Structure 1
C-alpha cells in the first residue's frame, strides 16, 4: 500500500517542501527490508533503525516486510533527522494504523527517539514559512520547536511530544473530534518585540571617553563601521558592548529574517522563539574563515550572518589571520555571503555594523606619558599593516580611545545614558528614511519594502542595487545629491585631502559621515563644522600613523 506525507528540507536559510512516499509491500519477507531513496544523507538513512524501534516501542507490531521510502524531488540532497516523523507516520498510514486517509495539508518534522518521543530539530522557522507560502495550513513539530514556528502568521503549529500524540492528533482530524493535542500554539509577536528592551549594558556606566561616545553615536545614527584604537584598559570593549543599546529596535520583518538564520545555525533560544534584540557577535581572533563567513559540506551561516541586522565586534583586529579578515570584504560591500560548493551554491544575508578594536602598537602603549612603549616606527607600521588597506577603506570611522584619567574615573558627575543617546539616533534615522524615501525612483507609486523583503532589489543603472536605509549605504550618485558642500566647506575638504594624503575612498566616507553628523544636528545641509568633525574620524589616514 502507498501512503504519502509531507516534510521539508532546509537549504541555506530557506526551506523546500519534500514529499515522503512510503510503499508497504503486501507480503511478508524473511527479514525487514527497509530502503530509502532520493539522495538521503547518513542521518536520513539511519532513520530506518530509529523509526522501526520507535514504532514498535509505541505499541505497534509491524510485520516483517519490504518498505521503500522515496523523498521527492529526488535531485535535492536530504539531510538531518527531521524526516523521522513523516517517515514513521507514513509507515503507520500504509500499515493501516491511521484512520486519516491523506495528510496533504500537514507538514511533519521531528526526530524520533527509540521510545517514540520527539526531539527538537534545527531550521523549523524556515519550514513554517515555506508551508505558509505553499498554502499548507498545519505544521506538526516537536514541542521544543513549536514556539519558534508559531511566530509565523497563517499556519497552525501543533506541539507534540511523541509518536502516539501525533497519531491521536491526526485521527482526531479524521473523525472530526477535538483531540487534546488539536489546539495550535499561539504566540503574540507584538508582545515579544515590546518586551525586548531589557538587560542591555548602558552608556551611563562609561566614565569619560566623550569623544569615543560621540563617534559611536554617529556610527549608530548612520550605520557606519567603526574602528577604535587605544591602549589596553581604555574601555574599547566596554564601549562596543554598549553600542547595541543605542541602535534602533528590530522591526518584525528584521526579527523574522534574523531568527531564520539563528534557527538554521541551531543557536536560537527555544524559550524565546524569536530574536527580539539586534544580535551582538564577538568571535575570538582564533576564528577560522569558515567560522566567520560560514561553510561546511552543506554550507552553514557564520558569524557575519549571525550578526545580520546587528553588530559584529572584532576585538584585537590585527591578531585575526589575514585570510580571515580578507573574506569579510564581500559581506561588507554587498551585505551577503555567497558560499559555493561542488553540489550547490548558497547565499546568506550579512548586513551588519562592524565595530573593531586594536592597540596603537604591538605593546599597546604608544603615546603613553610614562614612556613605557619602545616600539620602533617600522614595527608599528608592520603591526598596523596586518589590517589591509581595502578592509580599512570599508571602515568609515577611525577613532582614538585614550586611557581614562584618574579624575574622570573617580568623578561623581552624572554620565549621559543610552536612552538619551538613542533618542537622537532614532531622530537621525527618521530623517534619513524620509530623505531616501522621498528620492526613491518608485516613491510616487509605493513605499519601499523592508530590507528583508524579496522585492527589494536594484531597478536600473542609475539607481543603487538595493534599497538604502542609512547614510553608510549611499551610492556615489547619492553622495553627489545629498552631500553638497558650500565653497568654504569645499576648501576645508581640499586642504584635508592634500595635507593628510586622503584617498578617493576616504573622500566618500568623510562625506557620508558628515551627512550623518548633519542629520544628528537636524541640519538640512552639511556645514563646515559637520565636515570638520567627520575629517577628525579618519585617524589612520593622518600622517603620524603613516
Structure 2
C-alpha cells in the first residue's frame, strides 16, 4: 500500500507552561502493529487501547497495517490522557473519515471514553494560553471543558460531546448509520470580581488591635507574618482573615493562579477566572510533596504553588516537619519552586504570603499573662527551634498574642475587612506609584539595591539607625532590608511621603515583637 502521513496537534505541560506537540500518524506496510513513540509515559501508551475501542464504537474499522504515532518533539515528556483525541483524529484522517487539511491547524485535547465520548482533562486553561502563544487559532476540547477553554479571547474554541459530533463538524464522511450532531458552543464565562471569604470579617477579631494593625501592614506590603501566642488568643482567626482584606488579582495573576488550579483539578470553571487571592491551610502532618510539590511521575504543584499570589497559612507551625519548613526558604526568596526528578525538571510559580501561627511552647503559656508555663526553658527552646533562624529571619512581622481581657473584648474592633481592604488598596497604589518604571509593585518584592535609591524617600537618619542595629547584632543584613521594606509599607499605610524615624521605630516594633515578648 501507499504510505499515509497525517499531522494533528496536542499539548504537553511543563509546570504551567504548555507546549504544542505535533502528533504524526503514519500508516504503512509491515506487520500489523500500533507503535507510539516520542517519550510517552504509561498513561499515554494506554491511549492506543482507548482510541481503538472508541473508533470501533463509531463504526470505523481498525487498520490492518503498521501504524506509528510520533509525538514530536520527542525531548518533551508526555503524560496523561489528553493525547487521546489528537491521536484519534489523526487515525480518522488517515482512514479518510475527515480531511487531513481540515484538522491540521487545530489543537485537540480530551480523553476518550471507550464509547467514543470526549471527557474533560486537567490543565485546559494553560493549554489554551500555550496554543495562543504559538499561533494556533483553533482548539478542540470536550464539551465539559468549554467554559474553561473560553475564558481567554484570541482562540476559536470548539467543544464536542462525542467523536461523531467532531466528525460531522469537520465535514467528514460518516460510516453508515452514524448520526451526525452539531457542535455545541457555550457562552463565554465572564470573570467575576468577588471576595469568596466574605463569610468572615476582620471585625470578628476583638482585643487584638496591635495584631490587626500588623495584619493590615502584611496585606499592604505583601509581608510574611508570624503569630505566636497562647491557645485561644485568636492566631488562627486572625490569619484566616488576611485574604478578606487583599485586593482582587490583576489579569496576569488571575490567569496564572487559575492555570495552577486547573492543573491541580481544583478549579471550578463556572466561576470564571480566579480573581480572589487563594488561601491554603495544610495540616501540620503534610509531607514535603504535599507542601512543596512532587509525587510520582511528573511532579505536581504543592500547597506553596496553589497559594501563589495568595496566602499560605501554617497553623501550629512548630508541629510541621523542620525539613518541610526549611524547604520553603528558597521559594520565599525567588517566588518559584524548582522540582527535579531523574527525567523531569518542572518549575511552578510560588510567590505566596506566608503566615505562621504557633504556640510559644508545648503547653502554650510561655507568654501568658494569666497562666504559668509548665515547660522548662530547655523545652521552650527546643520547641521554638523547630522554626529555624533563617526561616524566622524571613518573617517581616512577628507578633506576640495574649488572650484578651474581658475589658479588651468589649472594645470596638480595630478594623472591619471593608475598611482594611480600602486602606490596603490605597497603600498598594502609593507603592505602585513609587516603583513605577520597575518590574515591582509591592514593597516586599523590591530588591535590596533599590532600597537605597533616593526615590524611596527614606531619610538618612533611618539608614543610620538600621546600621546601628546591624552593628549591635539586633538585625542581620537580610533583616535590615526587611525592616526598610516594612518601614516603606508603614509610610504608605499612613499616607506619609517620606520614611522617618517614626516609621523605623514602628517597623522594628513589629519586627521584634515576639523577641520582646519572650525577653
TM-score after normalising by structure 1:
0.87
Distance 1:486 1:200, change over 3 A: farther
CA deviation after TM superposition for structure 1 residue 168, in Å: 1.4
Q: Secondary structure at 1:323's aligned position in 2?
A: helix
Equivalent of 1:479 in 441, 451, 454: 451
- Aligned-partner Cα distance in 1 for 2:51–2:460: 74
Counterpart Cα distance in 2 of 1:149 and 1:143: 10
Matches within 5 A, 1:212-251: 212-251=211-250
Structure 1 residues 361 and 164: CA distance shift in structure 2, 3 A: same
**Contact 1:200–1:242 (CA under 8 A) maintained in structure 2:** no
Give secondary structure in 2 for the equivalent of 1:382.
helix
- How far did 1:22 drift? 1.8
How far off its partner does 1:252 sit?
1.2
**CA distance 1:300–1:224, change in 2 (3 Å):** same
2:434 maps to 435
Aligned to 2:474: 501
Alignment match, 2:177: none
- Say yes or no: does 1:397 pair with 2:397: yes
> Do 1:24 and 1:65's aligned partners in 2 also have CA atoms closer than 8 Å?
yes
The structural deviation recorded for 1:483 is 5.7
Change (3 A) 1:543 1:426: closer
Q: Deviations over 1:398-425 (max 9, x none)?
A: 001211223444x384663111111111
Change (3 A) 1:213 1:198: closer
Local SS of the residue matching 1:171: coil
Alpha-carbon spacing, 1:525–1:101, altered in 2? closer, same or farther (3 Å): closer
Partner of 1:187: 188
The CA deviation at 1:231 is 0.9
Q: Answer whether contact 2:25 2:90 (CA < 8 A) is retained.
A: yes
Residues 324-346 of structure 1 deviation map (CA, whole Å, 9 limit, x = unaligned): 11111111111111122232322
Task: Tell me if 1:518 matches 2:519.
Answer: no
Q: CA offsets per residue over residues 401-451 of structure 1, 9 Å max, x none?
A: 211223444x384663111111111111111111111xxxxx4xxxx5xxx
Give the secondary structure class of the aligned counterpart of 1:537. Answer: helix
Among candidates 531, 537, 542, match of residue 504 of structure 2: 531
Residue 332 of structure 1 aligns to a residue whose secondary structure is: helix
Deviates more, 1:161-170 or 1:90-99: 90-99
| 2:212–2:414 Cα contact (<8 Å) kept | no
**RMSD, aligned α-carbons:** 2.6
Shift of 1:535: 1.4
Mapped to 2, the partners of 1:218 and 1:287 lie a distance apart of: 29
For residue 473 of structure 1, report the CA deviation from its aligned partner: 1.9
Asked whether the 8 Å contact 1:120–1:145 carries over to 2, the reply is yes
Unaligned ranges ≥5, structure 2:
175-179
| Superposed displacement of residue 172, structure 1 | 7.4
> 2:192 touches 2:271 (CA, 8 Å); kept in 1?
no
> Per-residue deviation at 1:64?
3.9
Mind listing any 5+ residue stretches in structure 1 that lack a counterpart?
Answer: 438-442, 449-466
CA contact (8 A) 1:281 1:313 kept: yes
- Please state whether the residue corresponding to 1:261 is helix, strand or coil: helix
Retained in 2: the 8 A contact 1:336–1:351? yes
Taking the aligned partners of 2:284 and 2:475, their CA distance within structure 1 comes to 29
